[in-house]
Structure 1
Amino acid sequence: MNVAQPLPVLYSFRRCPYAMRARMAIAVSGQRCELREVLLRSKPAEMLAASPKATVPVLVLPDGQVIEQSLEIMLWALAQNDPQGWLASDSAGLEAQQALIAANDGAFKQHLDRYKYPNRYRHEHTGDAQDFAQAHRLDAAGWLLELEDRLLGHPWLFGPAASLADIAILPFVRQFAHTDAAWFAAQPWVHLAGWLARWESGALFARVMEKYPPWQAGQAPVGFAPAA
C-alpha cells in the first residue's frame, strides 16, 4: 500500500508581490505543495507558530524546515527543478541577477510603498500626501527607466529568455503600474510596458493568480499544482 508523502505547505496571499513571485517559481519548478491562502487581517496561528515574522510567503517543508523569505523560496524551488533556466548557469550571472533584485527590493520598493500608500507614512511628511506620493513616484520612475534601457534589444532583463530577476521584479512593477494605470501607460517606457504585458498575458501568470478561499484549520488540503 502506497502512503502519500507529505507536501510542503505554502502560506500565501494572492495579491502580495512577494508571495506572487514565490508561487511563480514553485509552479514552474513542478513542485507540488499544499496552498494555504491567508487573510492578512486574520493570520492563522499555524503560520505564526512556524514564522513569527507574520508575513507571507512562508514555506514549511515536510521535515519541519521553514523558509521565510520569498527569494529563498524561489531559489529552493528552482534548485529542485529549473526547466526554463531561470537561474544563470554561472555564479557571476546569478550575482548580477541578485544585484538587480536587491535594487528592486530596496530603494524601488521603498518608493513604491510611499507612492501607493502615502497615508501610511504620515510621519515622514508634513505637507500634502499626494505631493509626497508624486515625489516618490518620480524617484521610482527613474529606476524603471533603467529597466527600460536594459530591455532595449532583447525581451527580458538578461537576454532572450526570462530569468530569476525578471520573475522576482515583475510583481512589483505590476503593482506600480496598477497604482495609476493611465499615468503608467503614458510614460516613455514602451519596452518595459511590453515586458510587463507579456508576463500578465501568459499562462503561468494566470495559473498562479487563481483565486482560493482563505484557509481554515481542519479543512481538506488544497493542492497547488505545477504549471502545465
Structure 2
Amino acid sequence: MPHPILYSFRRCPYAIRARMALHASGVAFELREIELRSKPACMLIASPKGSVPVLVLPDEGVIDESREIMQWALHQHDPEGWLGVSDAYLLAAAPLIDINDNNFKTALDGYKYADSEASRAVCRAQGEDFLQSLEARLQMTRYLLADEQSIADAAIFPFIRQFAGVDKDWFEQSPYPALRIWLTGMINSRHFSAVMQKQAIWQANPES
C-alpha cells in the first residue's frame, strides 16, 4: 500500500474536515468514497465502529477519529501553518473544537431533525450560544484564532455550514455578520472546493 487510504463520505462534516487537512498538508492519499448504507468489509475490518472518516496507514495502523486524522496529516506536513508555531494553534483550538463536537453538534442535530417548530427554535437557540462566541472572535480577527487560517477553522467550519443551511433565510438575517463573511470565505476556499469534488463510489476489487 503506497499511500494512506481514506474511507470517506462526501457530505459528512467529520470527513470534510479530515479531507481539508489532508489536502492542506499535501500528503498523498487514496480516497475511497463509500455509501453509508453499504459499507465495504475492508473498512469495517479496519474500524469496526463503522463511521467515517477512517484513515488506514501504510504500516497498517488505523486512525478513525477525524481530529486525529487532521493532526496526523498536518504533523506530516503543514505548509500553511495550521498547527501554529510549536502547535500553538492546535492547543488553542482544542477547547473550541470540544464545544463544537459536543454541545454544538447536539444542538445542530436537534435543529436539523426537529419534529416541530417549537423544538427547532429551542435547538437553534442552544446552537446560538456557540455562534455568538465565534462571532465575538471573528469581530477581532479574520479567522477563529488569528488573521490566518488554522486547524480550528477547518475543524469547525463544516458544522457551521450545516447549521446555516437548515434555515438560510434566518441565518442571512441573524446578528452574525462576521460569521457569515468567514463562512463564505471558507466555502469559497480552494481546500473546500477541492475536497467537495464528486467521486465515484469505491468498489472493492473482487480479485484482491
TM range (shorter): over 0.9
Unaligned runs of 5+ residues in structure 2 are: none
| Offset from partner CA, 1:95-140 (integer Å, 9 cap, x none) | 2211111011010000001110225xxxxxxxxx331122001110
Separation of aligned partners in 2, 1:54 and 1:34:
19
| Offset from partner CA, 1:35-61 (integer Å, 9 cap, x none) | 110101111111111101100000000
How far did residue 88 of structure 1 move?
Answer: 2.3
Alignment-mate amino acid for residue 15 of structure 1: R
Matched, 1:27 2:27: no
Alignment-mate amino acid for residue 39 of structure 2: K
Please name the residue that 1:9 is paired with. 5
Separation of aligned partners in 2, 1:74 and 1:118:
31
How far did residue 90 of structure 1 move?
Answer: 3.6
Matched, 1:153 2:127: no
8 Å CA contact retained: 2:19, 2:195: yes
Match of 2:108 among 109, 112, 115: 112
Unaligned runs of 5+ residues in structure 1 are: 120-128, 220-228
Separation of aligned partners in 2, 1:195 and 1:86:
16
Please name the residue that 1:94 is paired with. 90
Please name the residue that 2:45 is paired with. 49
Does the C-alpha gap of structure 1 residues 45 and 114 become closer, same or farther in structure 2, counting only changes over 3 Å? same
Higher RCO (CA 8 Å, separation ≥ 6 residues): 1
Separation of aligned partners in 1, 2:101 and 2:77:
25
| Offset from partner CA, 1:48-88 (integer Å, 9 cap, x none) | 11101100000000110000000000000000000000002
8 Å CA contact retained: 2:82, 2:89: no
User: So what's the TM-score if we normalise by structure 1?
Assistant: 0.87
- Correspondence 1:117-156 to 2 at 5 A: 117-119=113-115, 129-156=116-143
User: So what's the TM-score if we normalise by structure 2?
Assistant: 0.95
Separation of aligned partners in 1, 2:88 and 2:47:
32
Alignment-mate amino acid for residue 51 of structure 1: S
Identity of aligned residues (%): 50
Matched, 1:192 2:179: yes
Alignment-mate amino acid for residue 33 of structure 1: F
8 Å CA contact retained: 2:89, 2:151: no
Alignment-mate amino acid for residue 195 of structure 2: V
| Offset from partner CA, 1:146-205 (integer Å, 9 cap, x none) | 100001132101111001111100000001011111111110100000000001112221
Please name the residue that 1:224 is paired with. none
Alignment-mate amino acid for residue 144 of structure 1: L
SS in 2 for 1:84: coil
Larger radius of gyration: 1
